[in-house]
């Protein structure tokens, strides 16, 4: 990667998870090639570090969200909720109209 291309890179925080992962794979391939370009070494190492930190931050945030949402989802879908109130069955509109007493 040229110095010009390195300067034009998208900020890590703006990359999607997939884009960041692919770029990290490219950087790892650079390190594995064996014949390292010393001029690019530090730049690639800094970029890889920033990507790993960002992906780790996203994974931690996602894990926290999942740990919060799963119990809420389980409680919301439990037929006998903790508050002792049984949830009503979901009824489609046509069936609901059949159950609604008419005024005439």
Q: What is the pLDDT of residues 14-26, one digit of tens each?
A: 999 999 999 999 9
The answer to the question of residue 83 being in a domain is no
The answer to the question of residue 26 being in a domain is yes
Give pLDDT, residue 104.
39
The answer to the question of residue 61 being in a domain is yes
- 38 pLDDT tier (thresholds 50, 70, 90): confident
Give pLDDT, residue 83.
61
- Cα 91 from Cα 87, distance rounded (Å): 12
Q: What is the pLDDT of residues 42-77, one digit of tens each?
A: 999 999 999 999 999 999 999 999 999 999 999 999
Q: What is the 3-state secondary structure (H, E, C) of 7-62?
A: HCCCCHHHCCHHHHHHHHHHHHHHHHCCCCCHHHHHHHHHHHHHHHHHHHHHHHHH
The answer to the question of residue 104 being in a domain is no
| Domain count along the chain | 1
- Structural domain boundaries enclosing 15: 9-78
Report the run of H or E that residue 96 belongs to, with start and end. Answer: helix 93-99
């Amino acid at each position: 990667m040229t110095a010009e291309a390195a300067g034009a890179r998208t900020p890590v925080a703006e990359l999607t998870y997939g884009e960041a992962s692919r770029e990290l794979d490219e950087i790892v391939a650079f390190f594995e090639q064996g014949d390292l370009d010393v001029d690019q070494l530090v730049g690639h190492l800094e970029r890889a570090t920033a990507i790993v930190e960002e992906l780790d931050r996203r994974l931690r945030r996602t894990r926290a969200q999942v740990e919060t949402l799963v119990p809420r989802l389980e409680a919301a879908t439990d037929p006998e909720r903790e508050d002792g109130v049984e949830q009503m069955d979901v009824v489609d509109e046509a069936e609901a109209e059949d159950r609604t007493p008419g005024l005439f």
